[in-house]
Amino acid sequence: GVALICIPASICALGFTASGIAAGSVAAKMMSVAAIANGGGVAAGSTVAVLQSIGAAGFSLGAKIGLTSMLGPLGAAAGAKLA
């Protein structure tokens, strides 16, 4: 559950926001590098495009289910070690 909040918050902190990429941010630098490498545009499906999508809309239902099913057992194992 924590990952579903922390990951999008971290992506937003990098500058991938609901209103677009924040000027002067890490995201802006990543977008610049990606655009230069691709001849002026950011390729669909690239890391920058995926992070911007998550920053704008959050995770899809499928991604939420996948992250929960993958990270849930890891959290349980970590909790068991601490107990």
Q: Could you read off the pLDDT of 30-78 as tens digits, one per residue?
A: 999 999 998 988 888 888 988 888 887 765 556 556 656 666 677 677 7
| Predicted local distance difference test score (pLDDT) of residue 62 | 61
Domain boundaries, the chain: 1-37, 42-75
Q: Cα separations (Å) of 39 from 20, 31, 42, 57?
A: 21, 12, 9, 27
Distance CA(16)–CA(1), nearest Å, equals 21
Give yes or no for residue 19 having a pLDDT over 80: yes
* CA nearest neighbour of 8 among 66, 50, 65, 69: 50
Q: Contact, 51 vs 14, CB < 8 A?
A: yes
Query: Would you tell me the crossing angle of helices 2-14 and 47-57 to the nearest 10 degrees?
Result: 110
Q: What are phi and psi of 16, to 5 degrees?
A: -90, 95
Note the pTM of the prediction, 2 decimals. Answer: 0.59
Give yes or no for residue 23 having a pLDDT over 90: yes
Give yes or no for residue 18 having a pLDDT over 70: yes
